[in-house]
Amino acid sequence: MTRFLKWAWVPVLLFLIIVACTNNEAEKEGDPAASASPTPSSSPTPSPEPTPSPEPTAPVPVDREGPSMYKFDKLVPQVDEFTFLEHKELSELRAPAFPNYKYYAAGRVMGVQGYSPFYVVEFKTQEDAKKYLASYEEFEKDTKIKSNLHINGPMILHLIEEDPEVIDGLADAFLSMTP
């Protein structure tokens, strides 16, 4: 009998270890039915708020059907091909030239001497766009190069706010730069 009592605690100990492990797994998974220790209902623990995921930094492709792009297409009827490029497709050379852009697109226009490429850039704020436009006008004045910004052809700035005068001015500037 003493030999039996000497080893009887082993199965009991194994049973307690298994129950404890099961309860720990249930608590981790949040299963209150499998938990041996009930939580008091008088003071519920607040569930932790899920942290909001950060918004993606890469811009989405430009919506050609949007009001600004629609106006731009109507003002520049010679646009033959208009291809929107996403952030990842911006070349390393051109990305530093537009430090605070939101959208970037490229297209080409049929001219007298074939196709003339152009680029449309929408900046995050009006101020950024105006700053860039002013620096471009200064560049034009200093260099007398009127149609070859960044070697690849004319540049059009498409400002983020709906401003018909700005869009008209950009369309006029674009038409004056095409061959």
54-102 pLDDT per residue, tens: 444 444 444 444 444 444 444 444 454 444 443 344 444 455 555 665 5
Q: Is the model's pLDDT at 178 over the cut of 80?
A: no
Number of domains in the chain: 2
Burial zone of 85 (CB within 10 Å; 0-12 exposed, 13-18 middle, 19+ buried):
middle
In this structure, the answer to whether residues 33 and 121 fall within a common structural domain is no
The Cβ of residue 131 has, within 10 Å, a number of other Cβ atoms equal to 14
Distance in angstroms (rounded) separating the CA atoms of residues 158 and 171: 10
Report for 33-37, 100-104, 111-115: range of highest mean pLDDT: 100-104
Residue 154 domain-assigned (yes or no): yes
**Do 148 and 75 fall within a single domain?**
yes
pLDDT at 179: 40
- The arrangement of strands across the sheet holding 114-123 comes to 79-85, 101-111, 114-123, 155-157
Above 80 in pLDDT, residue 38? no
pLDDT at 22 over 70: yes
Return the SS3 of 80.
Answer: strand
Give me the percent of the chain exceeding a pLDDT of 70: 12
Angle at 177 between CA 80 and CA 126, to 5 degrees: 90
Longest dimension (CA), the chain: 111
Between CA 107 and CA 111, with CA 110 as vertex, the angle to 5 degrees is: 125
* Residue 171 is assigned to a structural domain of this protein: yes
pLDDT band for position 8 (cuts 50, 70, 90): confident
Work out the mean pLDDT of the chain and round it to a whole number.
55
| 90, 140: one domain | yes
Host domain of residue 131 = 67-177
Q: Which residues contact 3 (CB under 8 A, 6 or more apart)?
A: none
Distance CA 67, CA 65 (A): 7
Residues 71 and 146 in one domain: yes
